[in-house]
A and B are shown apart, each in its own frame.
Chain A
Amino acid sequence: MKVLETDIAVIGSGPAGLAAALEASRLGKRVTLIERSDDLGGILQQCIHDGFGLIRFKKQLSGPQYAERFIEELKASDVSLLMDTTVLSIENEHKLIRAVSPKEGVLEIRPGAVVLAMGCRERTRSQVEIYGTRPSGVMTAGTVQRYINLEGYLPGRRAVILGSGDIGLIMARRMHLEGIEVLGVYELMPEVGGLARNVYQCLIDYDIPLHLSTTVKEVFGDERLEGVRVVKVDENRRPIDGTEEDIACDLLVLSVGLIPENELSRKAGVLISPVTQGPVLDESMMTSVPGIFAAGNVSIVFDLVDYVSDSAEAAARGAVRYLDGQAPSAEPLDVILGNNVASLLPTQYRVDYTGDELSFYLRVCKMESNVRVALRQGDRVIKSRKMPVVRLAEMVALTLLREDLALIESGMPLDIHIET
């Protein structure tokens, strides 16, 4: 069995893994990047639509273009790559990673610190209430995206989309352009789940109907999908009798949400937050296991890739400080989710944190206009930001600079909330 030693092992080479590996390498550490497929870039490679990198590069890039900017830099760096290598387990005490690849066999990697960057996965049919049979032709939007964009397959001919998340909206347009008849997008909630720009660019521009407060209740077909039954729902999301409608189709595309991918994190004994479904993280993006950090969508599902990269760089800096013996050691303060805050990252802060800046990322429970996002400690406002509107679909970032961070004192918990 081959044994490798490294300073920082990064698991996953999507936008988070790429950014984390580069940042750690820039800061002078030996980095090993482990990727299970034979391509770098993760899910970005199948996202051939544009809209990536608006904040970071001030440009509308496609997924592969966004990835390429990092991959080029990575190839010029001294980051070691382990491609086609799947991590089987992480032993928490010594952070010993066991992995396997067709070429190298079973590998044992002994890093000083680990950055988890496995991304997220899609919610499936079993996580939404759909009754009926179990035919082929029910797939997640990401799978449809992969079939069309990477494999060149036609996943079906007449499609219904359940869920108005971004991937669902983007796939509505993509399928339409490939000649698949897109019969409509159905959304359980009274509000669209994806970004507003995607509603315009992907649905309205192509006359694809959007039905809010409507869901798919049942599927038909013993072998291939033959149709779905949609139904309107009331304000409590319960089906309204008599509003059922049957639609003949051979493809049901599910865009019903994403969940941070934390199989490995759990195996490593990392504490998982019921709020984000990702690891409980401190200000340095460190998990409950010292020396194991989380980056990108493993920690919380972001909306913009730019934030994914930012969070990954923060995690890498945290890992470097940890290796250098400069990790904060104060008792962590809890950051409490206040009014209209549905999920938050990070949820712990240590006052002896030495980083230059720190971003809080949150999602709201409901849409509100003319609000102020505020981080408080007791009666004192540490930092706040005015926003014309906050939406379910859009993440809110609140970035604190060194002078803001200096206002935080030990002892009292922090809380973050939306003020109207």
Chain B
Amino acid sequence: MVKRLNKLIARHVDTSQFPVKATVRKDGVVVLEGEVPDWKTADELAHRVAKSKKVRNVINHLSCDGKSLAYIPKKDLIEQGRALGTFDEADVIIVGAGVIGSGIARELSKYNLDIVVLEKGDDVSQGVSKANNGMIHPGNAVIPGTLKAKLNVEGNALYDDWASDLQFEFKRIGSFGLSYDKKDRYTPWLGWIAGRLNKVPGMRFISPDVFLEMEKDVEVRPRRVLYAPTTAYVDGFEVTIALAENAAMNGVRFHLLTEVVDVDVEEGVVRGVVTDRGTVKGKLVINAAGVFADEIAAMAGDQFYTLHPRKGVIAIFDKEKKGPDRSMNGRPYVYQKNTKGGGVQRTVSGNPLWGPNAVEIIDKTDLSVQPEDLDYVMGSGSVVCPGTKRTDIIASFAGIRPADYKEDFIIERSRVVKGFIHVAGIQSPGLAAAPAIAKMVEGLTADELGELTRKDDWNPIREKPVVFSKLSPEEQERLVNENPLYGHIVCRCETISEGEIVDAIRRPIPAVTFDAIKRRVRATAGRCQGGFCGPRILEIIMRETGLRPEEVRKQGKDSYIVAGTIRDRYDAADCCETRASVGIADGVAQETGAHHESA
């Protein structure tokens, strides 16, 4: 096999200049090492190797400009965490509070299990689940026979139950696969064939006239239209928060701002994890760490895949802009590999959404948006809606797909460590597959821990929060009489009341950052982007949480909104001035210092 791989390598890189080495492990995993001229080469090579016969998966340790995707232990944090000691103990430790981790937590909360979820972000849904197009794919864009295909179709069907139990916004209105001319004439047919093989229900070709009747905003007439009625739309963040809230209601403990930096394994058995805040003991670790799942696997001593970040940029437009309600492909779709992206649709809240594109990057935390990203997104979408301009974009953001080189989901019990389950490589259609993934992991958990017994008092219902602007005047009146905070409109772009913001802060997963509040109630997401309501939201967070102004964050540890108060600065200046000009005795200086502290 090594010979075959070396040939492959020589086809991609000039090995005299760039000595790239492939090692084949006993378990069929290929490790690639060496320096490559550019990241595109590394990506193409690793994908080709993954396609070779008998290769289980690929670990990519190739480096480019001194950067690589190899796991480097965070020694300081491991030491710090161990020194802090144990702060929690559970049967099941779930790493990552995205839609996968939260979905698994909620599924397992049915049983008599003590469960903790560890999340390094300051809210749930901070990674992959945050920035996606919210599409519940029907299952006709995945390669038949893959785990992805199976779980996509199953997951899609399970969404009705999730939506009715968890009460998130859910629209099952279908999607289209279009061809515009000869060049892309196969696009709908590929969807048709894959869909048939994957057993996607209800799929059919419809006439362009019927299509144009369904989507009145579309300005071009396609040649052929494939309609998949089971496609649905959600807000990925809302689904995740609903799952997490319901899990928390049923006893799951969520630790936010808690980064797992090591996994404790003794004699092949998992004992717990080390975090930057201390250690957590547990019998089973479920690795749902999104784009970092390969690193968590490495910590457990069972890395057999590399997750290569694939960035996708999405553009959001004002609700008033024209655009189709259902997802459909633009044109560049047919020319770009490894993506189903690049379409046009509308979010569940009604904003036209274009994108995402797909760019292989080396830095898993690079969420920057570049001009060329929007060039692609606009180029693709303007085929469907030529009237929409780049200046109409109200927000653009990037998300990262956690792809392995097999481009399939990895959901299995560890073959080397007892008490460790991999849930990795959950890229698109991961959101659609999430309910099926949760069920599959439920089965794997029973395999690990033995038979699970059900709780008597499990409550599957998570009540929808109040949305003031959507109530009738009578209901609004009743609500304001009960709680006057609902009569105080804080965000005027989206008509959000103070009551709704306070609710978000007080729910089972408290929203205490600007972005957490934005994703729950849409305050600061409107046209003024927080210009008017930002200062008022800051006050509300401070009042409800007791935080000081500089402790209120947007998202992330250092994302303070304001640097402090003007008063602090003057008090500090006063102290210095008094000390300098009068040269007073120590006692008085201390007093001034105390004054500064209390201010």
Is chain B a partner of chain A in the same complex? Answer: yes
Interface residues on B, range: 35 or more
> B528 and A124: CB pair below 8 A?
yes
* Docked complex Cα distance between A269 and B189 (Å): 45
> Does A263 interact with chain B (Cβ within 8 Å)?
yes
> Does B322 interact with chain A (Cβ within 8 Å)?
no
> Does B394 interact with chain A (Cβ within 8 Å)?
yes
* Docked complex Cα distance between A142 and B531 (Å): 7
Min CB distance B536 to A, Å, is 9
A103-B487, A147-B562, A157-B563 in contact; A222/B395 too (CB < 8 A)?
no
> A126 and B480: CB pair below 8 A?
no
A155-B563, A179-B569 in contact; A122/B477 too (CB < 8 A)?
no
Query: Interface digits, B495-519 against A, CB 8 Å rule (1 contact, 0 not)?
Result: 1000000000000000000100000
> A1 and B367: CB pair below 8 A?
no
> B555 and A143: CB pair below 8 A?
no
Min CB distance A39 to B, Å, is 13
Identify the interface centre among A106, A125, A131: most chain B CB within 10 Å of its CB.
A106
* Docked complex Cα distance between A142 and B528 (Å): 11
> B489 and A131: CB pair below 8 A?
no
Contact of B492 among A36, A125, A223 (CB under 8 A): A36
Least CB separation from A108: chain B residue: B473
Contact segment of B291-299, B368-376, B410-418, B425-433 = B368-376
Least CB separation from B534: chain A residue: A143
**Which chain B residues lie closer than 8 Å to A104 at the CB level?**
487
Query: Interface digits, A247-281 against B, CB 8 Å rule (1 contact, 0 not)?
Result: 00010000000000001000000000000000000
Contact segment of A23-31, A54-62, A132-140, A366-374 = A132-140
> B562 and A133: CB pair below 8 A?
no
> A125 and B529: CB pair below 8 A?
yes
> Does B336 interact with chain A (Cβ within 8 Å)?
no
Contact of B535 among A84, A101, A108, A143 (CB under 8 A): A143
> Does A153 interact with chain B (Cβ within 8 Å)?
yes
> B484 and A136: CB pair below 8 A?
no
Q: For the complex, would chain A's binding face be called helix, strand, loop or mixed by DSSP majority? A: mixed
**Which chain A residues lie closer than 8 Å to B561 at the CB level?**
136
> A131 and B565: CB pair below 8 A?
no
> Does A86 interact with chain B (Cβ within 8 Å)?
yes
> B529 and A224: CB pair below 8 A?
no
> B514 and A136: CB pair below 8 A?
yes
Q: How many residues of A contact B (CB 8 A)?
A: 50
Min CB distance A369 to B, Å, is 32
Query: Interface digits, B525-568 against A, CB 8 Å rule (1 contact, 0 not)?
Result: 00111111011001100000000010001111111111111111
> B535 and A105: CB pair below 8 A?
no
> B487 and A101: CB pair below 8 A?
yes
**Which chain B residues lie closer than 8 Å to A157 at the CB level?**
563
Least CB separation from A101: chain B residue: B487
Min CB distance A152 to B, Å, is 5
**Which chain B residues lie closer than 8 Å to A154 at the CB level?**
562-566, 568-569
**Which chain A residues lie closer than 8 Å to B555 at the CB level?**
136, 223
* Docked complex Cα distance between A142 and B484 (Å): 28
Identify the interface centre among A1, A103, A105, A250: most chain B CB within 10 Å of its CB.
A105
> Does B361 interact with chain A (Cβ within 8 Å)?
no
* Docked complex Cα distance between A263 and B494 (Å): 10
**Which chain A residues lie closer than 8 Å to B390 at the CB level?**
129
> Does A127 interact with chain B (Cβ within 8 Å)?
yes
Contact of A223 among B469, B477, B487, B557 (CB under 8 A): B557
> Does A401 interact with chain B (Cβ within 8 Å)?
no
> B535 and A147: CB pair below 8 A?
yes
* Docked complex Cα distance between A142 and B565 (Å): 17
> B477 and A105: CB pair below 8 A?
yes
Query: Interface digits, A109-136 against B, CB 8 Å rule (1 contact, 0 not)?
Result: 0000000000001101111010111111
Least CB separation from B477: chain A residue: A106
Min CB distance B101 to A, Å, is 21
> Does A406 interact with chain B (Cβ within 8 Å)?
no
Min CB distance A98 to B, Å, is 6
> B367 and A133: CB pair below 8 A?
yes
> A100 and B487: CB pair below 8 A?
yes
**Which chain B residues lie closer than 8 Å to A152 at the CB level?**
565-567
Min CB distance A236 to B, Å, is 16
Least CB separation from A239: chain B residue: B371
A sample of 29 inter-chain contacts (CB < 8 A) reads A36-B492, A86-B489, A86-B492, A98-B473, A101-B488, A103-B487, A106-B477, A106-B480, A106-B487, A124-B531, A126-B393, A129-B371, A131-B370, A134-B367, A134-B397, A136-B559, A136-B561, A140-B531, A142-B531, A143-B535, A147-B535, A148-B566, A153-B549, A153-B562, A153-B566, A155-B563, A222-B556, A223-B554, A223-B558
Taking beta carbons and an 8 Å cutoff, which residues of B are in contact with A? 365, 367-371, 390-391, 393-397, 469, 473-474, 476-477, 480-481, 484-485, 487-489, 492-493, 495, 514, 527-532, 534-535, 538-539, 549, 553-569, 573
The list of the 10 closest CB pairs from A to B, nearest first, reads A223-B556, A136-B554, A102-B484, A86-B489, A102-B487, A223-B559, A153-B562, A124-B529, A223-B558, A136-B559
Taking beta carbons and an 8 Å cutoff, which residues of A are in contact with B? 1, 36, 84, 86, 88, 98, 100-106, 108, 121-122, 124-127, 129, 131-136, 139-140, 142-143, 146-148, 150-157, 178-179, 218, 222-224, 250, 263
